[in-house]
Amino acid sequence: MGLAKKILLANPCGKIADTAFDALSRGALEAWVGVTGYSFQIYFDFSGYSDMAIGLGLMFGFIFAKNFDAPYRAESITDFWRRWHISLSTWLREYLYIPLGGNRGSEARTYFNLVLTMLLGGLWHGASWNFIIWGGIHGGMLAAERAAGRENFYKRLPRPFRIGVTFVIVMLGWVFFRAADLPRALGYLADMFGARALPDGARLISGVLFQPYLLLALALAALVVWAGRQTWDWTQRLTLGKAVLCIALGWLALVVLATQEYNPFIYFIF
């Protein structure tokens, strides 16, 4: 299942992301499609690796904890970090947030600890302004949500709306995570909101982005993200039908892997 996630979903979504982010210019539609593709790529890429590690561990008698729990169904950034890369978020809490004082001091100190923890978490990914800003976005949102309290107007809004808003905030953060440097990240954000004029030929990337195969992969990724069960939960009780499906997907992934050249390993730098 992990291999299928990586090859059949993460790779085509990554092709969409690379096309959009590497283009010299793009329209708002292409920019939003590109960052959506990257959001799916980074999720299926890393959750796929985690699934493979969990499966290989089980073969040797080791039980690893769940590392992802439907993060794009989160209803807030606080909820997102309970679901995304659980091993890292647990480490940040246990070895940074709590030693800094956690929520044991004043409210202002708690907000400071949240923001500092996420800033350091951003620096852990790389020493650049992009990662610092990414950490700052998440740290600032964690502090703002804590300041708002559990009973606030936002919590009374429909759940699909809360999930959608959270996903958009996460996507805006991914722009800084994916872009090569700060100027390109800011330029990409400007394109997302139509703040830059399009030069002649800017729509040429549409022919690459909107290929049927890539759009089908993007739609399938969205279906799995928001309607599918988590691999960890789905495989807790294996039936013959599930085993056959897993084997079929594994072999299909191997066939596709052998016939395509685009197989990025985006987490090797971390």
3-state secondary structure of 76: coil
Whose CA is closest to 10, among 59, 44, 54, 52? 44
DSSP run (H or E) holding 73: none
Q: H helices within the chain, ranges in order?
A: 2-4, 11-22, 28-59, 77-83, 86-92, 107-125, 129-148, 159-178, 182-192, 206-209, 212-227, 231-234, 240-259
Residue length, the chain?
A: 270
Query: Using CA atoms, how far apart are residues 212 and 84, in angstroms rounded to an integer?
Result: 30
Choice among 109, 125, 162, 184 that is catalytic = 125
138 classed as catalytic? no
CB contact at 8 A, 266 and 41? yes
**φ/ψ (deg, to 5) at 52:** -65, -40
Query: Using CA atoms, how far apart are residues 38 and 216, in angstroms rounded to an integer?
Result: 15
Q: Give the contacts of 269 (CB within 8 A, at least 6 positions apart).
A: 126
111 alpha-carbon distance from chain centroid: 24
CB contact at 8 A, 86 and 247? no
Tell me which residues are annotated as active site. 125
